[in-house]
Amino acid sequence: MPFSPFKLGGLELPNRLVMAPMTRSRAYVAGIPSTLTALYYAQRASAGLIISEGAQPSPAGKGYMDTPGLHTDEQVAGWREVTDAVHTTGGRIFAQIMHAGRIGHPDNTGATPVAPSAVRPAAQLFTPKGMQDIPTPVELSTAEVEATIGDFADAARRAIDAGFDGVELHGANGYLIQQFLSQNANLREDRFGGSVENRIRFAVETARAVADAIGAHRVGIRLSPATGSQDLVEEDAHEVYPALLSELSEIGLVYLHHLAGGSVELDGRIRSLWPHALVVNDPTKSDPSAAVAHWLGQGADLVALGRSFIANPDLPVRLRLGAPLNEADLSKSFGGDHTGYTDYPTLALHPA
């Protein structure tokens, strides 16, 4: 079953293995992906679907050093080289649109980060000066929240212009969309804060705006219920996420990318809560074959794998053959040159 085809919106996926989005911090010039980035993704085009690293929809959405964007013509041109390389190699690729929200630092972006509320996370961030405390963010006004929704929609249009097959909204891992969902990062008193209905509003309105811009059949969303990422508290996740999924399912998003491990209760209910295509990424399972078998057995349609795809450009072939896997050198995960990025061997170079 992992190697059977699957129809996702208008795409025919050759297998059920998804390359998870992973920050690699190698867009050194104005957030523009490079020729090396194109090679990196093209090497992994045998995945059923590639989800790119997070690309910020605006300068305010940037959190980390050297991450790519989707808000300038030059960035679109850089991504076009990436998507052309993936498609030429027979692959399919979605762009992940990621606004970091309060997870940022002026030394990385030139500005104080923005957020639902002026609540500083108890966390540090890597900057050109090393690890530093994240500062207290600036609270977005209601008008700025609405403008940010527009930024997501504009980035989605740019993604399609750049040749992506669709986009994934990053609503997980403690970034802006999840900050609106949480109890301790969102203390707002307008229509985007307070009740469960209000706290899910930013995610719902963003998803609707992006779906209206490029078609719901080309839009997925990644969520990580109750993971506690980036100092977020979600004690009412059992109320927030069923309400959110109900609204998102009505919009008709093409898939939900569920990050498992935060809530056993929600992990067990996720298939029944989501009527469309379900992608599961389970970082608690270190064996990719075991993760794939478990979640396909639990009703997932697709399984996303991260670290395994970093080290194994030909991961689907290796899993199909039961071949040994390369180990990822995580010291080279962020930034650097081709080492730990495009130099991992394939079976074609080193037959089993």
Q: Catalogue the active-site residues.
A: 175
Q: What's the CA angle centered on 70, arms 134 and 37, to 5 degrees?
A: 90
> Is 171:223 a contact under the CB 8 Å cutoff?
yes
Other CB atoms within 10 A of residue 331 CB? 9
Distance, CA of 30 to CA of 148 (rounded, Å):
20
User: Residue 32 forms beta bridges with which residues?
Assistant: 29
Sign of torsion over alpha carbons 62, 65, 69, 72: positive
- CA-nearest of 329, 323, 326 to 351 is 323
Other CB atoms within 10 A of residue 261 CB? 16
Q: Which residues of 275-301 are buried (b: 16+ CB within 10 A; e: fewer)?
A: ebbbbbbbbebeebeebbebbbeeebb
Of the CA atoms within 13 Å of residue 246, those in its CB half-sphere come to: 9
- CA-nearest of 90, 65, 95, 67 to 80 is 95
Number of helical H runs and strand E runs in the chain: 12, 14
Q: What are the φ/ψ torsions at residue 4 (nearest 5 degrees)? A: -90, 155
Q: How far is CA 300 from the centre of its chain?
A: 18
DSSP of 295-309, one letter per residue?
HHHTT-SEEEESHHH
Reduce the DSSP state of residue 138 to 3 states and report it.
Answer: strand
Q: How far is CA 39 from the centre of its chain?
A: 20
